[in-house]
Chain A
Amino acid sequence: MTRYIVSRLGITVVMAVLATLVIFLIANTVPGDPVLAQLGDVAASDEKFVAEWRTKFGLDLPLWQRYLIFLSGLVHGDLGISIASQRPVLDDIIQFAPATIELATIGFVLALLIGIPLGIIAAVWRDTWVDHIARVVSLIGVSSPTFWLAFIMLAIFYGGLEIAPGPGRLDPIALPPERVTGLLLIDTAIAGDWETFRDAAAHLVLPSIVQAAATLGLITRTTRASMLESIQQDYVRVARAKGLKKSTIILGHVFPNAVIPVVTLGGLAYANLLSGAVMTETIFSWPGLGLYTFRSAAALDFPAIMGITLVVALVYLIINLVIDISYAFLDPRVTR
């Protein structure tokens, strides 16, 4: 088991280093001269000035030396300076991350709470109307463009019925709590400010439903397929022969054996929620990483885009590592 975990860790580190190389190559093989883009026409016509500028930013060095400089910067947490905000990209990311984590986590929990029971029910009552409804619901969830679903929810519940709060994390007049974790639900609870807590919670409802929609479909379908596979096993027949109750068999025997694919998918789905946030946050003006990514892309702010890509790739790698290790505990056979 230890050997397995160590080898998984090693692979993750190698992949992380290779990922930095990929990002570096994308950023440095941009068609069009970055010098021209940064300096403007007048300054770029002065050859001496351009040469100085190239030396200053190390653009005259060979590619591999620039990569090493980039890498040593990364080790010190230097992701570069955002062109749009003129702040270190890492500072921006740290500022915007909590909003995204809060939204993704609540959307994820919502998807699990609905998706897993729905999948189990669909498997147990296969080919009945419950199963058909579960299938259509999950297919519609998977097929809806997130950015559009977000718009529709906002248009209906905020614009039309006026029962939901508008975009953003808080009402414009509400006083945000002192930043401890950056997660508003936790920070307001720490401050004991229950009015703002309610406000923050109300603002989370629509975007988290949107976030949950696509994930819900995936989780329902995976749970159903995995349950159906386990239900046909011999130990289920044995359990039935022993006279166990149906609910005991399903929840106590079948479900624990069917849970592994759901864990894998769940981990990936959570990572996808973090990147799917780009769409949701843009519509809901949610001040998180997604909105930051959207603005950076719109402004072609390369340091910011590359910084985000790298951070999200690292999160992806770490989540995959956690999935692999939790596998080892759920099913010791994989370590052999």
Chain B
Amino acid sequence: MSVAGEAAAARRIAPVPTKAQRWRRRYGLPAVGMFIILVWIVVAITAPLLSPYDPNLVDVSNRLKPPSGEHWLGTDALGRDVFTRLLYGSRISLTTGFVVVLVGAFFGTLLGGIAAFARGKVEEIIMRLTDLVLCFPPIILALAIAAALGIGTVNTIIAMLAVWWPKFARLAHSMVLTQRSQEYVEAAVVAGFGPGRILFRHIIPNSIGPLIVLVTLDIGNAVITFAGLSFLGLGVVPPTAEWGSMVAEGRELVAQWWVATFPGFCILSIVLGFNFLGDGVRDWLDPKARKR
């Protein structure tokens, strides 16, 4: 056997990945993401059981204490327990993330679907409206609307929804346009089904893949945006425990680093969780992406 042949043979018998290795390669990162998200959901539900403190209990004599056995992650400028406030903060972040993306996706998909289905003037109006909202940087427009509506969690969610639906409208529009020329849609029309039934029972289920990918990746995005608006003072009303506003409270306390550092890690972990999961979901639902 020649040298070249030997090299080729050696290359061919490169170790075949074991079942565990293949599983890790394919599901590893998304599994980590899923695990992080589940942990946070459990924390959000059981927050009062996990900590002996009241998240809003002001104790000025105990202010800015570094992490200790008593206060695991220290106390903030008003003597509130940082660890407890982090646990309660997960409730706001998870809720806003899910609400903004799910409601935004619902209305966006509906509008985009209607636009692609109706064609003509209706399509023109809806899609130009979509373009109009998309010509603003999302965080700045949300900030302007939130400021106009007034501070408060619900108002901030409304402001975010106002800038959130267009990307879903655009995606749904292009998906439905692709699907509606397919033969099964023609068949449904011939069978005498109404447009609503065709849209919801036939077209949307067939184009749901990319939508799910966008939703998963987008929840992390929504969590980070809400935390950002909160950081700017437009999210929750004090003294509600929320991660973005906790970073804001600690942003000038460089020596008391624990006040701002830990809430940031919480945001990072939850957003990373959704991004890991979204990356995996994309690979499963889009075989072309999986090959890469």
Q: Is the CB of B224 within 8 A of A151?
A: no
Q: Are A143 and B268 in contact (CB under 8 A)?
A: yes
CA distance A84 to B56 in the complex (A): 32
Q: Which of A159, A283, A297 contacts B233 (CB 8 A)?
A: A297
Q: Tell me whether B140 and A282 are in contact (CB under 8 A).
A: no
Given A143-B275, A283-B251, also A148-B139 (CB < 8 A): no
Q: In the complex, A99 Cα to B231 Cα: how many Å?
A: 22
A26-B148, A142-B275, A143-B275 known; A294-B232 Cβ under 8 A: yes
- Check A215 for interface membership: any CB of B closer than 8 A: no
Is A312 within 8 A of B137, CB to CB?
Answer: yes
* B234 and A297 contact, CB distance less than 8 A: yes
- Find B232's partner among A26, A126, A158, A278 (CB 8 Å cutoff): A278
Q: Is B31 an interface residue (CB 8 A)?
A: no
The verdict on A62 contacting chain B, using a C-beta distance below 8 Å, is no
Task: Tell me whether B135 and A140 are in contact (CB under 8 A).
Answer: no
Chain B contact patch, size range: 35 or more
Whether the pair A126, B292 counts as a contact (CB closer than 8 A) is yes
Out of A15, A26, A298, which one reaches B135, CB within 8 Å?
A: A15
Q: Whose C-beta in chain A lies nearest to the C-beta of B224?
A: A145
Please measure, in the bound complex, the distance between the C-alpha atom of A151 and the C-alpha atom of B267, giving whole angstroms. 14
**Chain A interface: which size bin?**
35 or more
Q: Closest Cβ of chain B: how far from A67's Cβ, in Å?
A: 16
| Stretch with Cβ within 8 A of B (4 or more), from A40-48, A244-252, A269-277 | A269-277
Q: Mark B57-84, 1 if CB is under 8 A from A, else 0.
A: 0000000000000000000000000000
Q: Which of the candidate stretches B102-110, B111-119, B185-193, B252-260 sits at the interface with the other chain? A: B252-260
Cβ 8 A contact of B247, one of A30, A145, A306: A145
B25: nearest residue on chain A (CB-CB)? Answer: A127
Q: Is B267 in contact with A139, judged by CB distance below 8 angstroms? A: no
- Is the Cβ of B260 less than 8 Å from the Cβ of A148? yes
With an 8 A cutoff between CB atoms, is A59 at the interface?
A: no
Interface check B157, CB cutoff 8 A: no
A80-105 near B? 1/0 per residue, CB < 8 Å = 00000000000000000000000000
B141 within 8 A of A: yes
CB-nearest residue of chain B relative to A271?
B137
Min CB distance B66 to A, Å, is 14
A28: nearest chain-B partner, CB-CB: B148
Q: Which residue of B lies closest to A142 (CB)?
A: B275
A154 interface neighbour in B131, B140, B254, Cβ under 8 Å: B254
- Report how far A139 CA is from B233 CA in the complex, Å: 27
Residues of B within 8 A of A309 (CB): 136, 140-141, 143-144
A32 to chain B, nearest CB (A): 7
In angstroms, Cα B244 to Cα A151, docked, is 12
Q: How far is the CA of A46 from the CA of B261 in the complex (A)?
A: 51
- One digit per residue, 1 when the CB lies within 8 angstroms of any chain B CB and 0 when it does not, for chain A 258-299 equals 000000000000011011101100110000000001100110
Is A164 positioned at the interface, with any CB of B under 8 Å from its CB? Answer: no
A14 to chain B, nearest CB (A): 9
* B276 and A139 form a contact (CB under 8 A): yes
Interface mask (B141-174 → A, CB under 8 Å = 1, otherwise 0): 1011101111000000000000000000000000
Q: Does B92 contact A (CB under 8 A)?
A: no
Contact string against A for B residues 191-226, beta-carbon threshold 8 Å, 1 for contact and 0 otherwise = 000000000000000000000000000001000100
Give Cα A152 to B261, complex, Å. Answer: 7
Q: Are A148 and B247 in contact (CB under 8 A)?
A: yes
Cα-based distance from A140 to B220 in the complex (angstroms):
12
Given known pairs A30-B148, A158-B254, A159-B254, the reply for A317 and B135 (CB within 8 Å) is yes
* Chain B residues closer than 8 Å to A145, beta-carbon distance: 224, 227-228, 231, 244, 247, 264, 267-268, 271
Measured CA separation A317–B135 after assembly (Å): 6
User: Which of A16-24, A169-177, A183-191 faces chain B?
Assistant: A16-24
Q: B235 to nearest A CB, angstroms? A: 11
Q: Are A143 and B144 in contact (CB under 8 A)?
A: no
B94 CB-CB contact with A under 8 Å: no
> B137 to A275, Cβ gap below 8 A?
yes
Given contacts A147-B228, A316-B137, 5 further A-B contacts (CB under 8 A): A31-B148, A143-B268, A147-B247, A274-B137, A312-B140
Q: List 15 A-B contacts (CB under 8 A).
A: A19-B136, A31-B150, A144-B271, A147-B251, A148-B263, A148-B268, A151-B260, A151-B261, A151-B264, A155-B257, A274-B137, A278-B140, A279-B231, A293-B140, A293-B143
Q: Which residues of B contact A (CB under 8 A)?
A: 131-132, 135-137, 139-141, 143-145, 147-150, 220, 224, 227-228, 231-234, 244, 247-248, 250-251, 254-255, 257, 260-261, 263-264, 267-268, 271-272, 275-276, 279, 292
